[in-house]
Amino acid sequence: MMIMKLWFIMLIMFMIGNMIFVSSYKHLLITLLSLEFIVLSIFFFFLMYLNFIEFNMYLIMIFLLFSVCEGALGLSILISMIRTHGNDYFQSFSIL
């Protein structure tokens, strides 16, 4: 019963992260934070699943490595955008 509650919590976390990602189109920082929240919910899912099937945790370490690289890349994009445009609004710069 406790496992079903944890699966439900992870599903709710994933859905909330997706709703924030879809609805936040104004600031880049909020979008990056929602992506990190989604990654955190997927990490908890992997942790529960690999504990359930009694598998090694090396896959978790590889996932954490890629999620840290994704976070660092997003942060560098945010910093370069703030340095060039002065803020993190999507409307302040054009793709052309």
Structural domains of the chain ordered from first start: 9-92 (1.10.287.3510)
pLDDT of residue 93: 66
- Asked if residues 43 and 29 have their Cβ atoms less than 8 Å apart, the reply is no
- Asked if residues 67 and 43 have their Cβ atoms less than 8 Å apart, the reply is yes
Q: Give the predicted TM-score (pTM) of the model.
A: 0.83
pLDDT of residue 68: 93
Q: What are phi and psi of 53, to 5 degrees?
A: -95, 5
pLDDT of residue 94: 64
49: tokens are 């699943």
Local confidence pLDDT in tens for the 96 residues of the chain: 777 888 888 899 999 999 988 987 788 888 889 999 999 999 999 888 888 888 888 889 999 999 999 999 999 988 988 888 888 877 776 664
